[in-house]
Chain A
């Protein structure tokens, strides 16, 4: 049906635009691609990791994968969408045949593409630089990454659709830092002091990082609890976002 060809064309054109916009935000590229890679190299080279991990990279790689997902979904997508809303772009595109469904679809595809590039980059660094070999179940890891991407993207859109652009910018960066430090990314939450450990345990970044550590580890396990936690975060954030999202 030629009509569908046109609709796919619209989706592809919008996806291309989303990727172009991602690349044009220099600070966005820095935070999504460069920061996790640099942190991985830095900590792995210094050998900083909890003592129960024989090789630091076994602890660090899952954390940096989680960080990359978080920075793409929460920070990059959230801030970009918030500004598009404040510039009236979402409103303007809403009056074209693109439609909200395909606009959202384009954002999803672009986020997945960026996350895939990050995963490839981080895996590449780990394999080439630190002799890391994938153990465990790649399938569970991929499921955790997919759910994590969905959860963090929903949280990003939740911020973008309700808060002012400047507030979203501040909130997304603050959450990023909080989750980086307390959410099991660079340090296991069990090793945080008492109440902080409890907080960290509940954070989605911890679920993602721990889920990846479990499934990619030397003695692989099935990260059911973490998968469930990520699914819950995703469903809850999506439900609130779709109810509260304002397009202008």
Chain B
């Protein structure tokens, strides 16, 4: 056992100093997970590059920074969230804004949407949907190697809760906008729980934004239960500034015959790490894990995917793409695990990257562990430049080189975007990506909240 690092020690102390306050403002059930979680965190610590899953990503620079921590929000934090809530009315989605990880709670804390789904703060869910929360909270976010998941369980107290009852079909997606806005450098950890009943259909869009230029660190965990034969899409759109570090852990647990897709679109961000865990827990489930990132300057984007084929007759598809400019770096780590009795498994993985300069760098690593016999599995990774022949083809029709390059990059990116099933959103992301490629994407132009 290695001696705990100084940084890990710092976060243990942070826990000790604040746990009293955190527990006082949290439901008892959440609190019941904390002491075990902090022990796990103590063992595992803040991940370093010695951790195989974090080999290409150095978190130290962010975690050693002194942040202000808002474990229990004050009135002004809620007010800030309230202000934002009003602005999203023109988007064709049911909107929720979290400011610095907290659900606005001045007005209704839980509301019912057309189609029968409920959305509200996780804290409030313990009052209204006690059984549901207790059946699912803390069940899926598990890890024997990533201390950050346990740090979140130990200290998080709120986030978004969505419950989509059996057979419900929402007319519109739910959009959750995570805004980080503070005069101080802040560290925030929120925790979301989404429960989708049998045969229900649900799409959630999560937008990660930073509004003020301070240094921010976010460590968020989302647990999702997809009931039998339910359909679920999660689309994450990230647009944060170069001083922000965003770490997300998303756990999707699927029951038999269900379908789920996850799509991480990272338009901008200082350091981004998205871990997506897909657990195929019932026969005939299908899952898609997609991602696209566009980076430049000194940004670093890391996508980590774990697909666990625990049941037979399941299908999984991973497609991750990246465009790296300047001296940007990126990493992709895609694991496929096929359990011994998960026969008739189809599991595919592809990772394609374009480096626009000689200084950009991409690490890509497939990891396949297959213990069943009857499995169709493939993986492929490429890191390269724009296709010269395709570039010439466009130029030969009168399109200048700069525009031709943009078209090729856009086409490359579009292969991921075209999987977004919500058409207006697909078009919107297409146009955001085009703006990003043209260098026209400002914070406000990209922000779906349109508060500007």
Determine if chain A interacts with chain B.
Answer: no
